[in-house]
Structure 1
């Protein structure tokens, strides 16, 4: 029997083990992340599943079915520093509860093979989001990714080697796709749309595309006391002007842009800033809109640098196109929601999710969102009402059944 309260209890226990007063601390490959995986595997040990880690470091639990074709249920245990208690791990433990129910109902052998996956480093500790799922999809560039560093200067290659993963063989994880027939993922919305409309759940149409870059502006260091204001080549001034205007030109193109990290050098009180390095993350559901956002950023950067006597260089961090989800499975998701609550909407996802990489690999995919209080995520204030969490687990379970029917019965069955 499905028990959503068990999922909520698992999530609270996970936070007790891997969080603190500042929030969740399950940053990929750190001790709390290892503790989270140990807790998950202890729960899986009670089920008739096989557990394995693929060459990229993703954790898979497989419940064999009557048919070899596979329904994947995905999530991620890693978090951002000081993150929320639900982001990513709700997917994993709701999927665990679905597998518990299926194992009990079908005496350990459901109609299709069901696989629960904990994707490695979804959050992008090194600036590359969706690492584990991009390895499975085949979109990972190991050479470029390996050189990326976290905020402490540790490279992705070094961190992976520390947990026994050879990045040069990460793409071998693509072998997991051989029998995949569908993928479903439950996630908190991380935004305010459902709450504003007074709804608990929503069916996700797809994920926005992302352009993420590291920009380095170079000016000239000079003494803070003796250099007149009109004689300065201040790299920070370029960012100051850009940050003032970014909201205006982003709104013009109906997307979102975020300057998320800033460092300066020489970084002392008595010197004009010579170099200013910052990250720019831009997102849009339409490919043309995404291109327009990045073109606007480059145009404005060039203008401000010319005005300030500076230059700039750009290093790509991450790029993914907008990814629509499978229309039949979106229908199935909406119908599953309506089985447990009176109303449902369809909405896009601004945040990235592993579902995007799975869909890019050609596997029929859909996501289900549950309301986030205040639209908050990636901080300790992230929360969802227990009643909505329980509803989401029930709807997700119904979705799993609908998708299995679709897999066995063919196109057009999932949404009925």
Structure 2
């Protein structure tokens, strides 16, 4: 029997174990993240599932079914530093509750094989979002990813080595896709749309494309007291001008632009900034719009550097195109929502999610969103009403049932088509 209250209790227990007064601290490949996985494994021990960790570090729990075709229910336990109590882990523990219900009502043998997956480093501790699902989808470049560092200077390769994972072998995780039939994921919205509409749940159309660059502006260090303002080559001034301009860029082309990380050198009070390193994250639903955002921002950066006597270099950190979800599964998501509440809304996702990487690999996928109070996420104040969380677990469960039926119908049609083709030869 499905018990959404149990999911909420487990989420609160997890936060008590891996959070503090500043928020969630389940940063990937840290002791707190390991503790979160141990907590999940403890819960999985009560189910007749096999548990494995793939070469990229993703955790899989498999409940065998009558068919080897697989329904994946996915999420991620990792968080940003000082994050919210629901981001990512709601997906995992709601999926766990659905897995329990399916196992209990099918005498341990559902019509298809059901797999719960906890993706590794969805949040992008090293600037590469969706690391684990990228490995499974075939979109991980180990050479490029290996040199990425977190804000403390730890490399992705080094962190993985400490967790017993060889980055050069991570792409072998693609073997997990061999029998994948569909993927579903529940997530908090992380935005204000559903709250503004007064709706608890929404079916997700797809994810925006994202383009992320590391930009280094180089000027000239000079004494803060003796250098006139009009004689400075101040790298930070370039950033200051660009930080305002990206709002105009976003208004011109749609989408969003964010400067989220900044480091300066020499980094002392008595010197003009010589180098300023920062990230620029840009997102858009349309590939042409995403390209226009970057072209416009780069043109502005070039102009501001020329005006300030500075130069710049650019390194691409991450790129993913806009990803639409499967129309049949979007319909199924909307119907699942209508089974548990009065209305549904379809909306795109600005944030990235592992579902996008799964869909890129050709696996039919869809997501459900549950309302976020104040639209807040990546923030200790992140929250969702208890009653909405319970509805979300129920909707995910209804979606799982609908998708399993859809998979069976699709497989039957495929077999019938194959038999017709054989008879025609």
Q: State how far apart, in whole Å, the 2-side matches of 1:91 and 1:360 are.
A: 20
1:195-239 alpha-carbon deviations (Å, 9 max, x no partner):
000000000000000000110000011111111111111101100
State the partner residue of 2:61.
61
Counterpart in 1 of 2:297? Answer: 297
Match of 2:81 in 1: 81
Residue 420 of structure 2 aligns with which residue? Answer: none
Separation (CA, whole Å) in 1 of partners of 2:244 and 2:386: 40
Gaps of 5+ in 2: 414-425
TM-score by length of 2: 0.96
Displacement after TM superposition at 1:412 (Å):
12
Deviation at 1:411, TM superposition (A): 8.4
Q: What residue number does 1:370 align with?
A: 370
Instruction: Give the whole-Å Cα distance in 2 for the aligned partners of 1:325 and 1:110.
Output: 25
Aligned equivalent of 2:395? 395
| SS of equivalent residue, structure 2 residue 183 | strand
1:12-91 equivalences under 5 Å are 12-91=12-91
Give 1:104-143 correspondences, 5 Å limit. Answer: 104-143=104-143
Kept in 2, the 8 Å contact 1:406–1:412? The answer is: no
Shift of 1:60: 0.1
CA distance in 2, matches of 1:251, 1:364: 33
Aligned to 1:306: 306
Structure 1 CA distance, aligned partners of 2:352 and 2:305?
Answer: 31
Matched position secondary structure for 2:340? coil
SS at 1:339's partner residue? Answer: helix
Measured in 1, the distance between the counterparts of 2:298 and 2:308 equals 15
Pairs within 5 Å for 1:173-322: 173-322=173-322
User: For 1:10 and 1:257, how far apart are their aligned partners in 2?
Assistant: 35
Deviations 1:363-416 (A, max 9, x none): 000000000000000010000000000000000000000000000012899xxx
Contact 1:127 1:318 in 2 (8 A): yes
Partner Cα distance (2:208, 2:100) in 1: 33
Using the size of structure 1 for normalisation, the TM-score is 0.98
Partner deviation per Cα, 1:290-343 (whole Å, 9 max, x = no partner): 001000110000000000010000011110000000000000000000000110
The runs of at least 4 consecutive aligned structure 1 residues that moved more than 4 Å come to none
What is the number of equivalent residue pairs in this alignment? 413
CA RMSD of aligned residues (A): 1.0
Q: How does 1:373-384 map to 2 (within 5 A)?
A: 373-384=373-384
Q: Counterpart in 1 of 2:357? A: 357
Q: Is contact 1:210–1:282 with CA below 8 Å preserved after alignment?
A: yes
Question: 1: distance between equivalents of 2:80 and 2:175?
Answer: 28
Pair 236,412 (structure 1): closer, same or farther in 2 beyond 3 Å: farther
More divergent stretch after superposition (389-398 vs 246-255) = 246-255
| Separation in 1, partners of 2:174, 2:330 | 25
Q: Aligned equivalents of 1:36 and 1:67: distance in 2?
A: 31
Q: Within 5 A, what are the aligned runs for 1:128-167?
A: 128-167=128-167
Tell me if the contact between 1:133 and 1:358 (Cα under 8 Å) persists in the aligned partners: yes
- Where do 5+ consecutive residues of structure 1 fail to align? none
Distance 2:251 2:196 in 1: 20
Matched with 1:332 is 332
Q: Once the 2 structures are TM-superposed, how far is the Cα of residue 143 of structure 1 from its aligned partner?
A: 0.7
